[in-house]
Structures are given as C-alpha cells and as structure tokens.
Chain A
Amino acid sequence: DVKVTQSSRYLVKRTGEKVFLECVQDMDHENMFWYRQDPGLGLRLIYFSYDVKMKEKGDIPEGYSVSREKKERFSLILESASTNQTSMYLCASSGPGQSYEQYFGPGTRLTVT
C-alpha cells in the first residue's frame, strides 16, 4: 500500500525558531512536493524535487528551503519561523513517466506563536 509519512501531525514553534518538517515515501517515487494549505487559498506549492539533490522553487518559496539527500526523504526547513507561516503543510510524491497522481502525507499543522 502506498505510504507517505510526515514527522509530526501537530507542531507549535516560537517566532524565530528553525523548524524541520520531514517527509518519507516508500513508493520509490522520483518526484516529491511540499505544499501549504490555507482556507480559501487551496494548496500552494512551496518546493518541488524531481531527483535526489535536485530542487525547484514553487509558487511561494520565500522563507523556506528544502533538502533531498535520499530518494525517499524530502525535508522542508523554515530557517526563522514567522507567524505568517502558521499553516497546514502537506508533502506529496508522484511516480515516473506520465503519472501525475500525487500521493499525500497526513499533513503537519504548524502553529508559530
């Protein structure tokens, strides 16, 4: 069964802290994505990786960075958390070829106070 896991379901951090969100997939997928989801705005792409050590900025990369050292793991880093980064963060992966279906993890609800 397809599985994408995220390191935490709920996280509370203080302004200025460095935050790591981790995502692991067990489907040997090349493509991995980080989104944030906010009411009324839908899912917005933060970063995308199409291979190990490869990354591409999405629509809203400011304030975020990513790391993909292994194929199965894609990390999102908030270098200095701010209150406007309070959101639901969703990781997804998709397979090779013309496979656009993305499989999502359960999400991390991050609150920055």
Chain B
Amino acid sequence: RKEVEQDPGPFNVPEGATVAFNCTYSNSASQSFFWYRQDCRKEPKLLMSVYSSGNEDGRFTAQLNRASQYISLLIRDSKLSDSATYLCVVTRRSNDYKLSFGAGTTVTVRA
C-alpha cells in the first residue's frame, strides 16, 4: 500500500468554480502535512502547510482529519493560473526530515 494516495484526476473546472480533493496517508506516525504545487515540467514548490485546526491561505483552504488519516485541499474562485498538479506530502515520523509524496492530483481550470 502506498504511504500517500491521491485521486490523480484530472479535475476540469471552469474559472470561478470551487474544486476540492483529498488524499489519504497510511502512516499514523506522520506529524506534519503539506500541499505542494507542481506546474507542468517544473519542480514542486510548497503551497501550504496543513494544521490540525485547518488553515486558509487566500483562496486555498486545507483541512486535516487525523482520525481518518486524510487531508483535503479546497480552491475557491479558481483561476486559470491554478492549473497544476497538487502533491500531498507528509512527514514519515516525528523529527524526520524525510517526506512521503503522493503522486499528485491534476487540476485544469478552463476559461
């Protein structure tokens, strides 16, 4: 079983729409959680950290459910520039710098 599983999509949405997707992780020892964004043919970059209480960064909202071991990302008022692959990332255990990456969810926003 993969450590981090994501629906690969693609999610095709019109501009202005809301899109949401989840990922699940298998390691209950994971302590820190992130969403990274990867544009086509580019390197991954940190989008946002995910906190237990949930957090927002502009149009992006991330939630963590430790009991069910899933993380979600919601994008409101989608822009064309939001088209990318979103990678769900978790730490492997406490105080461990190594990360486990999901294979990514592709979002395409159309005009």
Give the distance to chain A from B102, nearest Cβ to Cβ, in Å. Answer: 6
Give the Cβ gap from A31 to chain B, nearest Cβ, in Å. 5
* B84 located at the interface, meaning its Cβ lies under 8 Å from any Cβ of chain A in the complex: no
Per a CB cutoff under 8 Å, which of A35, A42, A94 touches B104? A42
A104 and B43 contacting across the interface, CB-CB below 8 Å: yes
- Contact present for A42 and B98 (CB under 8 Å): no
How far, in whole Å, are A31 and B98 apart by their CA atoms in the complex?
9
Task: Decide if B109 is an interface residue (CB 8 Å cutoff).
Answer: no
Which stretch in A12-20, A43-51, A66-74, A79-87 binds the other chain?
A: A43-51
- Interface flags, A30-57, vs B, CB<8A=1, else 0: 0101010000111101001010000000
Binding site for B on A (CB under 8 A): 31, 33, 35, 40-43, 45, 48, 50, 58, 90, 94, 98, 100-102, 104-107
